[in-house]
Amino acid sequence: MRPEPDDAVGGVLAALADPTRRRLLDLLAAHGAVTATTLAGWLPVTRQAIVKHLAVLEAVGLVGGSKVGREMRYSLRPEGLDATQRWMNALAADWDRRLAAIKRFAEAAED
């Protein structure tokens, strides 16, 4: 997947599309700032896999990491969701609007 640089929403959607990544977000929501090694203990995958997932989540702004001593603590960054959330709500509203228009049009001009 090659989301163009200006496409933040697409990136977030792609990130959210993976179930492991969603579980990761759940765990972060439940436990706050936590290390990749700890997360690996809760999921049936390697620490490396976790790190990769956290990297894509970080790239789209859904999580952030801060170094504490020699360990890296990852935590949620809820603002990262905002744009996508708004996009999706707008999309739903737009669909409803258009569908209503089309329906009205179809009723008017009975083909």
Give the nearer residue to DNA in terms of CB position, either 2 or 107.
2
Give the nearer residue to a copy of itself in terms of CB position, either 46 or 95.
95
> Smallest distance, Å, CB 24 to a copy of itself?
13
User: Residue 94 touches which of a copy of itself, DNA, none (CB < 5 to 8 A by kind)?
Assistant: a copy of itself
| Integer-rounded Cα radius of gyration of the chain | 19
Stretch that binds a copy of itself, among 24-32, 38-46, 48-56 (CB under 8 A): 24-32
Q: Mention every residue, 6+ apart, whose C-beta is less than 8 A from residue 29.
A: 76
Give the total of residues touching DNA (CB under 7 A). Answer: 24
DSSP state of 76: E
* Closest residue by Cα to residue 38 from 52, 22, 25, 27: 27
> Smallest distance, Å, CB 70 to DNA?
3
Give the nearer residue to DNA in terms of CB position, either 72 or 83.
72
Site for DNA in 37-66 (CB under 7 A): 37, 44-49, 51-53, 56
Is residue 78 within 8 Å of residue 59, measured between CB atoms?
A: no
Bridge partners (DSSP) listed for residue 64: 75
Is residue 74 within 8 Å of residue 54, measured between CB atoms?
A: yes
